[in-house]
């Protein structure tokens, strides 16, 4: 049975203060709840020991924390872990934990499935099945067994973050707020294929890093891979990005999956250099991971290195991203959830 109580997770400090005032509690109690949630990461209202027992009982009658532990976990031989988290709507999303020496990155999802239908992405083949709430997004962090080891979060899991921008902005606001998780925006990267007006709003309202899924610098070729190119061509994305300052702490990067002979030639390299000219950015080259019923060739190491070296020599900082979790279908482009699950919240 779905819990009918309201969820605390995902509410801002101001909203928590309003909620407790409506129940006859002093406003500062809302600030106390925010600190218990986002800094102490409690899993029960009874743990909020500086709130009177009477008020805790009143809170329990009306609210639940909203944290839901993962219902499944797969671990890769390289240490990557893929978790299946339930959502408030009874669906599930995949979240990938990637440890790497002193760094630990969590790849979170923003939607169940995705509308963008990029040719090379398994999530796109699933189609769009719903938006996540801010609580659903934060729960992927809050409910993560390795939560306290995290150094970075990337919104590069299932879904197009700009297509669910209200929830994504709310989640990043809570992650970076003084009375939230108190993270620096430098620890958070939000990806996008490029969504008109939404991308501009994100750049205006957030200081988190932005990563653009480029995958091809040429309009017609990118359109064949990514239907979103029709509504917001990559040239328009670049024109928008040039209006913002990425010379200080905020970073702009481009994700670029390499397909053998299709987008990894030096001719493509020249177009990338022209496209990003004058913009402080980096390019991340990514290996293509084959998905069912998609006949695209992956680029080999030599071709990827040649493209990387060309871009670097022409002033574009470029790396080849290590492929992680491929054996558990956790690598880039492989996330998909057909499974549905309900889970009681705490």
What residues are labeled active site? 94, 332
Strands 72-75 and 128-131: unpaired
Q: What are phi and psi of 41, to 5 degrees?
A: 55, 50
3-state DSSP helix/strand/coil % of the chain, to nearest 5: 35, 20, 45
As a whole number of angstroms, the distance between CA 258 and CA 272 comes to 13
- The tokens for 263 are 């987008």
How far is 193 from 155, CA to CA, in rounded Å? 12
Which among 43, 66, 125, 136 is positioned nearest to 95, based on CA atoms? Answer: 136
CA distances to 232, 233, 277, 311 from 196, rounded to whole Å, are 6, 10, 22, 28
Rounded-to-integer distance, Cα 313 and Cα 298, Å: 24
Residue with tokens 């309009």: 219
The whole-angstrom separation of Cα 258 and Cα 189 is: 21
- Residues facing residue 192 across a β-bridge: 212
Cβ atoms 8, 16 nearer than 8 A: yes
* Radius of gyration (C-alpha) of the chain in whole angstroms: 21
H helix intervals, the chain: 13-22, 28-38, 53-62, 122-126, 134-142, 165-176, 198-205, 219-225, 228-231, 234-241, 266-276, 301-313
CA–CA distance, 89 with 271 (Å, rounded to integer): 44
Rounded-to-integer distance, Cα 146 and Cα 97, Å? 8
């Amino acid at each position: 049975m779905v819990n009918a109580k309201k969820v605390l997770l995902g509410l801002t400090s101001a909203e928590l203060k309003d909620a407790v005032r409506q129940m006859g509690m002093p406003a500062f109690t809302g600030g106390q709840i925010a600190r218990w949630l986002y800094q102490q990461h409690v899993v029960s209202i009874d743990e909020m020991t500086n709130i009177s027992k009477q008020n805790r009982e009143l809170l329990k009658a009306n609210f639940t924390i909203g944290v839901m532990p993962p219902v499944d976990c797969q671990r890769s031989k390289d240490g990557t872990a893929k978790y299946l988290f339930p959502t408030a709507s009874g669906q599930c999303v995949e979240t990938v934990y990637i440890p790497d020496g002193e760094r630990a990155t969590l790849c979170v999802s923003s939607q169940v499935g995705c509308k963008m239908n990029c040719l090379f992405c398994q999530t796109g083949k699933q189609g769009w099945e719903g938006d996540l709430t801010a609580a659903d997004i934060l729960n992927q962090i809050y409910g993560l067994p390795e939560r306290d080891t995290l150094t970075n979060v990337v919104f590069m899991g299932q879904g197009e973050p700009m297509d669910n921008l209200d929830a994504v902005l709310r989640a990043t606001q809570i992650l970076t707020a003084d009375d939230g998780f108190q993270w620096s925006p430098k620890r958070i990267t939000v990806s996008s294929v490029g969504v008109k007006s939404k991308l501009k709003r994100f750049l205006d309202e957030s200081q988190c890093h932005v990563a653009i899924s480029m995958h091809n610098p040429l309009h017609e070729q990118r359109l064949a891979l990514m239907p979103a190119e029709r509504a917001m061509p990559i040239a328009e994305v670049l024109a928008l990005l040039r209006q913002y300052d990425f010379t200080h702490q905020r970073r702009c990067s481009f994700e670029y999956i390499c397909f053998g002979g299709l987008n990894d030639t030096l001719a493509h390299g020249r177009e990338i250099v022209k496209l990003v000219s004058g913009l402080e950015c980096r390019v991340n080259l990514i290996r293509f991971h084959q998905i069912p019923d998609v006949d695209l060739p992956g680029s080999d190491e030599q071709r990827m290195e040649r493209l990387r070296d060309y871009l670097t020599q022409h002033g574009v900082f470029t790396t080849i991203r290590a492929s992680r979790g491929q054996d558990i279908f956790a690598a880039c482009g492989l996330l998909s959830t057909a499974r549905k699950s309900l889970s009681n919240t705490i």
